[in-house]
Amino acid sequence: MTATARTVVIRQHGGPEVMMLEDRPLGEPGPGEVRIRHHAVGLNFIDVYQRSGLYAMPLPAALGQEGAGIVEAVGEGVTHLKAGDRAAYGGGPSGAYAEARVMPAGAVVPLPEGIAFEDAAAIMLKGLTVQFLFRRTVPIASGDTVLLHAAAGGVGLLACQWARSEGIRVIAVAGGPEKCARALEHGAIHAIDTRAVPDIAAEVRRLTGGRGVDVVMDGVGRDTFEASLDSLRPLGMMISFGNASGKVPPVDLMALASRGSLKITRPTLFTHIADPEACRAMAADLFGKVVAGEVTAQVGQRFRLDEVAEAHRALEARETTGSTVLIP
């Protein structure tokens, strides 16, 4: 009898209601593959983008990019993992919303004993994102100032902690006093409440004595893009790394010149982790921060796998704080 695993699948793009649980065959790993049984699965905005069709996928498709659990079997040529190992991943082919799966081994890394499965599922994709934002995108040094949007979200709270551990000053942007307070608790030096402050850029100028910030990290997209540019100092760097509010319209390059020869980049995590060795090095850097207590996972919500639609609705409504995990 062929083993199966409950898996969340979409057969059309749309709202949370298009996600269905199906029993899918679970085979043996081939060369360069592993089979991992999930103990926890992470929820991310990219899952929403893929479900809705903003990032269109061939259908039918399984969803999910992030998980942690136990390696059940490895295929030929896999040397960095073995059956029985604790492991985690953030990236690779979608399909993490499942009890178990077979997937390429290059995206899967050994998980230290000191990090719980739920914490790993909450931190892998978001934590690797923070790692490339601070380490691999533009040089950011102690004393530099970063404007961070959605600072009370999963990426945001990790970024606040990472910055604090390295002496980087974060001005957090979040919606509501409770979310602002969380960002401050996790290392931000100032917090701008978008519900109370209508002009983010003006407030940034006030907080920086008119100078502006060195770097903006903006995962919100369309709604905050202009304010982000207006918050930068001359020669500052805008990192646009997400589209939570929608896709950013085409950019007039002269708008960068007129604001002070600004720089802009649109990186993706998947470019950075495409090289398995780079992926493992990034994960080791992240895990070092976690084990040292400099960065801690913030699991704000837990849902069962069969509650995935409810989880998506909460994420899209910005009703979540920290990270959200699914428990298979």
Q: Does residue 312 lie within any of the structural domains?
A: yes
pLDDT in the model for residue 2: 64
The Cα 74–Cα 51 span in angstroms is: 30
Q: Phi/psi zone of residue 235: left (φ > 0), alpha (ψ -120 to 50 degrees), beta?
A: left
Does residue 219 sit in the same domain as residue 254? yes
Does residue 243 sit in the same domain as residue 321? no
Does residue 64 sit in the same domain as residue 165? no
pLDDT in the model for residue 136: 95
Residue 103 CA to its chain's centroid (Å): 20
What is the b/e burial string over 257-283, where b = at least 16 CB atoms within 10 angstroms of the residue's CB? eebeebebeebebeebbeebeebbebb
Helix 177-185 / helix 154-165 crossing angle, nearest 10 deg: 30
**pTM across the whole model:** 0.87
Does residue 85 sit in the same domain as residue 142? no
Tokens of 168: 């980087």
Q: Does residue 271 lie within any of the structural domains?
A: no
Does residue 318 sit in the same domain as residue 250? no
Domain boundary among 214, 231, 266: 266
Tokens of 43: 């929820």
pLDDT in the model for residue 228: 95
Does residue 45 sit in the same domain as residue 163? no
pLDDT in the model for residue 204: 98
Q: Does residue 109 lie within any of the structural domains?
A: yes
Does residue 114 sit in the same domain as residue 149? no
Does residue 146 sit in the same domain as residue 105? no
β 190-193/299-304 pair status: unpaired
Q: Does residue 277 lie within any of the structural domains?
A: no
Please, what is the Cα angle at 325 between 14 and 112, to 5 degrees? 135
pLDDT tens sequence for the chain (328 residues): 469 999 999 999 999 999 999 999 999 999 999 999 999 999 988 899 899 998 889 999 999 999 999 999 999 999 999 999 999 999 879 999 999 999 999 999 999 998 999 999 999 998 999 999 999 999 999 999 999 999 998 889 999 999 999 999 999 999 999 999 999 999 999 999 999 999 999 999 999 999 999 999 999 888 889 999 999 999 999 999 987 777 788 889 999 999 999 999 999 988 999 999 999 999 999 999 999 999 998 788 999 999 999 999 998 888 887 789 999 9
CATH number of the domain where residue 91 is located: 3.90.180.10
Q: Which amino acid belongs to residue 295? A: V
The beta strands (E) that lie in the chain are given as: 4-10, 19-25, 33-43, 61-62, 66-74, 86-90, 100-104, 108-110, 145-148, 169-174, 190-193, 213-218, 232-240, 263-265, 299-304, 323-327
Tokens of 205: 């100028």
Does residue 155 sit in the same domain as residue 242? yes
Does residue 201 sit in the same domain as residue 224? yes
Q: Does residue 133 lie within any of the structural domains?
A: no
Domain count, the chain: 2
Q: Which domain holds residue 78?
A: 4-125+288-327
Helix 276-291 / helix 117-135 crossing angle, nearest 10 deg: 110
Report helix, strand or coil for 195: coil
The Cα 130–Cα 242 span in angstroms is: 12
β 232-240/213-218 pair status: parallel
Q: How many residues does this entry show for the chain?
A: 328
Does residue 218 sit in the same domain as residue 295? no
pLDDT in the model for residue 54: 86
C-alpha distances (whole Å) from 164 to each of 82, 146, 243 are: 36, 11, 25
CATH number of the domain where residue 227 is located: 3.40.50.720
Q: Does residue 33 lie within any of the structural domains?
A: yes
Q: Does residue 275 lie within any of the structural domains?
A: no
Q: Does residue 278 lie within any of the structural domains?
A: no
> How much is the CA Rg of the chain, to the nearest whole Å?
20
Contact (CB, 8 A) for 231 and 257 = no
Does residue 169 sit in the same domain as residue 78? no
